Structure 1
Amino acid sequence: MDTFASVRYIVDDVPAASFFYTTHLGFILRSNPAPAFADVTLGPLRLLLSGPQSSGARATPDETAGPGRNRIHLIVDDLDTEIDRLQAAEVPFRSELTTGPGGRQILIADPAGNLVELFQPAT
């Protein structure tokens, strides 16, 4: 299994973004359920290009919209257990639990306010 560092970029036009990264920067297209989402890689970097129809784009609350909507994307095996653990540790949550076509996710914030997405893929 390949190991990637995943970063989600919210984009307005998934096909255009996918074309840009694969054509101009040498990324490899892994999956492309456009127009909602594309998954491109370059070495150990996995770039998740999420359009307005994707669940990733819906997970950002209005008060954090705009610059800074990008976040680290961490895959977890059991999102409910992680939510319980982090709530007990009083980690600040920045969204409600969201379910979309690719899975379930929630946003937390680091001490500086940077967003981290916890994501459990759909089975």
Structure 2
Amino acid sequence: MTRNESEGALASVRYIVDDVQAAIDFYTTHLGFTVLTAFPPAFADVVRGPLRLLLSGPTSSGARATPADAAGCGRNRIHLVVDDVEAERERLRQAGVEFRSDIVSGPGGRQVLVADPAGNLVELFTPADRR
């Protein structure tokens, strides 16, 4: 498979991180990602299903291309479906992961927000039909 074919099968999201190795450790240890490539301290990419998460450190070209006034903009986050959001919350709490919300329920399901070591948000979501 060529690089373009493998990239076409994945959706890629870039997160700017302060410490690439800490981000690798967080996503692989706590959220079930696997490492595709790793070049700390500049860059790594980790994969979970069809999601390729680009982890760009301060020296990466992706981080350098971000305007200084764009830092902290938006409320964007990656969205990971889990079987039981309460069980995931408890597992991650015991591991010392930082939560940015309580569990919130809505018509579509339940969600909770966690932060990676750089403060990027990850939404863990259990659809209503899995409650």
- Sort the TM-score into its range (normalised by shorter chain): 0.5 to 0.7
Which structure: larger Rg?
2
Please report how far the alpha carbon of residue 64 of structure 1 lies from its aligned counterpart in structure 2 after TM superposition: 1.5
How many residue pairs were aligned? 71
* Runs (4+) off by over 4 Å: none
Of residues 9, 26, 32 in structure 2, which corresponds to 1:26?
A: 32
- Structure 1, unaligned runs of 5 or more: 72-123
Q: Report the CA distance between 1:63 and its aligned residue.
A: 2.3
Q: In the superposition, relative to structure 1, how do residues 43 and 25 fare at CA in structure 2: closer, same or farther (>3 Å)?
A: same
Instruction: Report sequence identity in percent.
Output: 70
For residues 25-58 of structure 1, give each alpha carbon's deviation from its aligned partner in whole angstroms, at most 9, with x where no partner exists: 1101000011111100000000000010111000
Q: Offset of 1:62 from its aligned partner?
A: 1.9
Partner of 2:63, secondary structure, is helix
How many Å separate the matches in 2 of 1:66 and 1:49? 16
Q: Under a length normalisation based on structure 1, what TM-score does the superposition of the two structures give?
A: 0.53
**Structure that is richer in helix per residue:** 2
CA separation of 1:29 and 1:41: change in aligned 2, threshold 3 A: same
Among candidates 18, 21, 45, match of residue 15 of structure 1: 21
Alignment of 1:81-100 (within 5 A): none
1:69 to 1:32, Cα distance in 2 relative to 1, 3 A: farther
Q: SS where residue 39 of structure 2 aligns?
A: coil
Q: Which amino acid aligns with 1:55?
A: S
Unaligned runs of 5+ in 2: 78-131
Asked whether 1:36 is paired with 2:42, we answer: yes
Q: What's the TM-score once normalised by structure 2's chain length?
A: 0.50
Task: Calculate the aligned-residue CA RMSD, in Å.
Answer: 2.0
